[in-house]
Amino acid sequence: MSWELAEKVRARFPDVELFPRPGQDEPHEASPAPVPSASAAPSPGAPPGEAPKPPPRRPAHEAPPAFLTPGVFVPGELLLAICQVLAIDREFGLHYLSFVSAIDRPEANQFEVLYHLYTFDRKDELVLKARVPREAPAVASVASVWVGADWHERETFDLFGIVFEGHPNLRRIMMTDDWIGHPLRKDYVFQEPAWLVEAAKQRQKDIEGLGLGERA
Amino acid sequence: MALRTEELILNMGPQHPSTHGVLRLIVTLDGENIVDVQPDIGYLHSSVEKMMEARTYLQNIALVDRGMDYLSAMANEEVWVLATERLAKIEVPERARYIRTIMLELQRISSHLIWVGTFGIDLGAFTAFLWAMRERERIMDLFESSTGGRLHHVYFRIGGVNEDLPEGWTHRCLEFCDYFMDRLPEYDELLTGNPIFLARTQGVGVLAKERAIAMGASGPVARASGLDYDVRKAHPYEVYDRMEFGVPVRSEGDCFARYLVRMEEMRQSIRIIRQCIEQLPAGEIRSKVQVALKVPKGEVYARTESPRGDLGIYLVADGSDKPYRVKIRAPAFSNLYALTEMMRGWKVADVIAILGSIDIVLSDVDR
Amino acid sequence: MTQSLSQRVVQGAIGLVVGLKSTLRTMFEPKITVIYPIQKLNISNRWHGLLALPIDPETDNDKCIICFQCERVCPDRCIHIEATGKGKERLLTRFDIEMDKCCYCGLCVEVCPTEAIVFVPHYEASTFNRANLLYDLDDLHRGTPKEPIATGVVKVKRPAPKRQTAAPREGTVIP
């Protein structure tokens, strides 16, 4: 779990932006020696270096977020081009896509589309994040690069409403086809479907007076 | 004279005894040959990820037990507490880490036993199911005496485990190990050398290594296709880095290879359990963590090797006592996607064998 | 098929004999089936069964100090507590557990500072009427299922587990 891979991606594509790291205020300036991450897991591949400086003690809600898994922010329009290189190029060898998902950030008015990639050659991982606006969210599909992205993108479309352009079969996978809304958005309010309300009312009528289901 | 043929669409499920839950397979047939399979999932979708956002870190342990893969509840607890501990930088006492490893391996055996049993039923061998349940009952008793639950344990805690092992538990566990190693050859007699079983599984449902990687398969399914990858070896968690164990890998990629991989994994699990009990240190089992734990802001991806494959949680914390966003990377979800590849070109009678061989739990697929 | 018919017949016969050998051996082993409602298995004393508020013999009342910790920690929010009075005069007026919502996770038992709420080794809470799954203060003091369904001769089949390190939950009101 070293940041080596993320640094390499940044060296290859200047447009990407590294996740902010503890002890580094300037994430844009790629440091010459990669700082070992504060991950709890032992990383045999990580070069022995100085321990990261302990961050100053601050209340939990004020401290900057700690990204323990290395990753980069990718501009949405470059995503497909970068993924094609990452999956095929021997330098990266990220053949395995663990999942595709998203994070809703209503305060920034955007979604962060999340990709987790893995390489078996050096046993390292990389997270890609593409920021898309909350209104009309759309990003290029990577199903042509990793076949397994098919269902993961369908799931993300279903639960977040993010449109993956160029996806072969983009329709709901978890919810029913006539479902209204996208449940994992932060502003989603659950509404009983009309047929369910009807069915429940009918059931109430049927069992009335039978003494079933009523609280004593 | 060319025969005019027509494709037939066969609807299998959602309620079907061999779909192991509520799964609908839309099978396109050309005569007896499978042209295409489209699994239709979502019948068990409970939006666990959304529910977790409304519960505290401690309460979520009870939720991941039943919201995800219910046949290996403690594997789910493990990945959840692992993610939280990494982000909150909580140390786990040595003894608790050993206990967790023992429990995880017992859970792996019990989950694989269910699979052997149901796979046998799918192929018409009912005896294997009864035997597997008999062995599993011993594990359930071990679980019950230490955790209090048989399926849903809520045993792991952030920073340790709930209660120490009861007196004599390790002795009983070792007894079980001996008993189980005696019983395993019987399964070889019953299934491995069974000509009917071989005919139904050998060479059926082949998944090539490259396709397994591309489709995101993991766990025994990928290992049966020749992918030498196990999270316990690649990214050791708990005390797996101190254990000696082998990772069975087969190159055939068929149903029989998946069966052999799982059978060998159970043997290796017994090895790990014996080593753990031998090295089990005394001491604390739980470090002090407050009930309403506030996890500092940050993001982490924790991964474990669940009985079904590479189980991961991407946790986004915002500094409050509830997680901001949890993404569960379910192994069965990706393995089920690989099903479309495995089934193409086989006969309709092989649907059951191939579906059974990937060991899906629909609660894990749909979450 | 490269094998001849006779070879296959012999192979099949061997498979049959091997399979039957294991079956035969199992036939002569002691039976492990338990005829459930008549016989029951011993359950461990950590069993996550029904919840109860045991009566403390010293005070002749439960040990609840009305700290609301269990109500707060419950993931399913199935515990409802109400109290009147102030300070030492505080009196528990309502302690309801909706057993149909309960997920038997044991977090309430864990956080309770006075061990006022405990698990009892009962599990047969099923009922024909859903209303019977609301356990109020009286039911929790009694600590048994409201509608005991499976009644019969309780015959212990397995040897009782050895004494366990964790103190068995004393004060449970099991007859």
Can you read off the two tokens belonging to residue A72? Answer: 């980069």
Residues B145, C155: Cα–Cα separation, whole Å: 20
Residue A110: inside a domain: yes
Chain B: partners with 3+ C-beta pairs within 8 Å: A, C
Mutate to test the interface with A, among C99, C130, C134 (most CBs of A within 10 A): C130
Question: Is the per-residue pLDDT at A45 higher than 80?
Answer: no
Question: Do residues C122 and C49 make contact, with C-beta atoms less than 8 angstroms apart?
Answer: yes
How many whole angstroms separate alpha carbon B80 and alpha carbon B74?
10
Give the residue carrying structure tokens 């070889």. B188
| Predicted local distance difference test score (pLDDT) of residue B320 | 86
pLDDT for C149 equals 55
Query: B50 vs A146: CB contact, 8 Å cut-off?
Result: no
- ipTM for the assembly: 0.86
B15, part of any domain: no
Q: Given B298, B320, B366, which is nearest A66 (Cβ)?
A: B298
Range of the domain at B100: 46-361
Instruction: pLDDT band for B109, please (50, 70, 90 cuts).
Output: very high
Residue of B nearest to C8 (CA): B195
| Any domain includes B194 | yes
Share of chain B above pLDDT 90, in %: 17
At C121 the pLDDT is 82
> Which of C119, C120, C164 has the highest number of chain B CBs within 10 A, making it the mutation to test binding with B?
C164
Total domains in the fold of chain B: 1
Chain C contact for A210 (CB, 8 A cutoff)? no
- Residue C172 binned pLDDT confidence (cut-offs 50, 70, 90): very low
Burial (CB count <10 Å: 0-12, 13-18, 19+), residue B354: buried
Residue A184 resides in a domain: no
d(CA A100, CA B195): 42
A127-135 mean pLDDT: 89
Q: Tell me the C-alpha distance between C140 and C64, whole Å.
A: 12
CB proximity A209 to C under 8 Å? no
Bridge-based pairing of strands A110-119 and A124-133 is antiparallel
The answer to the question of residue B281 being in a domain is yes
The distance of A35 to chain B (nearest Cα, Å) reads: 17
Q: Does residue B366 form part of some domain?
A: no
Instruction: Write the CA distances from A157 to A108, A115, A147, B62, C71, integer angstroms.
Output: 20, 14, 16, 28, 37
Q: Look at chain A and report how many structural domains it folds into.
A: 1
Structural domain range at position A68 = 4-23+63-165
Residue B34 lies in a domain: no
CB pair distance less than 8 Å for C22 and B189: yes
Pairing of strands C50-52, C118-120: antiparallel
Task: Band the pLDDT of B107: cuts 50, 70, 90.
Answer: very high
CATH number of the domain enclosing A95: 3.30.460.80
pLDDT digits 0-9 by tens, A71-98: 888 888 888 888 888 888 877 888 888 8
Partner B, chain C 131-170, Cβ-Cβ below 8 Å: 161-166
List of chain A residues whose C-beta atoms are within 8 Å of the C-beta of residue C147 = none
Does a structural domain hold residue B11?
Answer: no
Tokens read off for C166: 């964790």
Q: Nearest residue of B to residue C47 by CA position?
A: B148
- The pLDDT, as a whole number, for residue C18 is 76
- pTM of the shown model: 0.84
- Exposed/middle/buried for residue B103 (C-beta within 10 Å: 0-12, 13-18, 19+): buried
For residue A56, name the pLDDT band (cuts at 50, 70, 90): low
Q: Residue B238 sits in a domain of what CATH number?
A: 1.10.645.10
A85 three-state secondary structure:
helix
Sketch out chain C's domains with CATH numbers.
Answer: 50-142 (3.30.70.3270)
CB-count exposure of residue A41 (10 Å: 0-12, 13-18, 19+): middle
| pLDDT exceeds 80 at position C1 | no
Q: Is the Cβ pair A68, B298 closer than 8 Å?
A: yes
* Reduced 3-state DSSP string for C33-49: CCCCCCCECCCCCCCCC
Q: Write down which chains contact chain A via at least 3 CB pairs under 8 A.
A: B, C
Give the closest-approach CA distance of A214 to chain C in angstroms. 6
- Kindly give the pairing relationship between strand C79-84 and strand C91-98: antiparallel
Please state, in angstroms and rounded to a whole number, the distance separating the CA atoms of residues B68 and B363.
Answer: 5
In the block, which residue shows the tokens 């192929």?
B123
Q: What is the pLDDT of residues B66-104, one digit of tens each?
A: 888 888 889 999 999 999 998 888 888 989 999 999 999
Asked whether residue A127 is assigned to any structural domain, the reply reads yes
- A42 near B CB under 8 A: yes
Report the C-alpha dihedral over residues A127, B363, B54, B231, rounded to 10 degrees.
-30
Residue with tokens 């309430």: C108
